[in-house]
Amino acid sequence: MRVALFWMLAVASIVSGWRVFRTDSMVRAAYWLMASFVAVGIIMVQLDAEFLGLVLILMMAGEMTIMAVFMVMFMMNPAGLNPMMMVHQHRASIVAGVLAFVGLAGVGIFARFPEPTLRASGQVTAQLGHELLGDSMLIFETAGVALLATMIGALAIAGATGRFGSADEGSQEPGEA
Partner 1 sequence: MISYGRLLGELATIALVLLAGVYATVVIDLWAGRMVARAPVRAFRALTFPIRQTALFLLQQRATTERPDAPLWALAPALLAAIAAASLLVIPFSSQTSAAGIESGIVYFGALMALVMIAVYLNGWSANSVFPIIGGYRFIAEALSYEMPLALVLIGAALPAQSLSVSAIVISQDSLWNVIRQPLGLPIYLIAGLGVAFWGPLALPDAADLAGGTESELSGVQLLLWRTARIAVLVAVAAMGAAVFLGGWTGPWLPGAVWMTLKTIALIFIMVGAGHLVARVRLERFVLVAWTVLIPLALLDVFAAGAVVLAGSPR
Partner 2 sequence: MSREVLLVLGAALFGIGVYGALSQQSFVMIMMGLELMVNGAIVAAVTLWSRAAAHSPKGQLLAVVFMTVMAVEAAIGFALVTNVFRIRRADITEKLKALRG
Residue ranges that bind partner 1, judged by CB under 8 A: 1-2, 25, 27-28, 31, 34, 45, 50-51, 54-55, 57-58, 61-62, 64-66, 68-69, 79-81, 123-126
Residue 100 binds partner 2 (CB under 8 A)? yes
CB of 79 to partner 2, least distance (A): 15
Residue 48 binds partner 2 (CB under 8 A)? yes
Cβ atoms of 11 and 19 within 8 Å: the answer is no
Question: Which does residue 79 bind out of partner 1, partner 2, none, counting CB within 5 to 8 angstroms by kind?
Answer: partner 1
* Interface pick for partner 2 out of 27, 33, 35, 57 (rule CB under 8 A): 33
Query: CA 79, CA 54: separation in Å to the nearest integer?
Result: 30
* Interface pick for partner 2 out of 8, 61, 79, 87 (rule CB under 8 A): 87
Question: Which does residue 84 bind out of partner 2, partner 1, none, counting CB within 5 to 8 angstroms by kind?
Answer: none
User: For strand 165-166 and strand 161-162, is the pairing parallel, antiparallel, or unpaired?
Assistant: antiparallel
Query: CA 25, CA 84: separation in Å to the nearest integer?
Result: 9
Query: CA 48, CA 39: separation in Å to the nearest integer?
Result: 15
Cβ atoms of 36 and 56 within 8 Å: the answer is no
The single-letter code of the amino acid at 59 is M
Q: Considering Cα of 25, then 31, then 37, then 40, what sign does the dihedral take?
A: negative
Residue 112 binds partner 2 (CB under 8 A)? no
CB of 82 to partner 2, least distance (A): 15
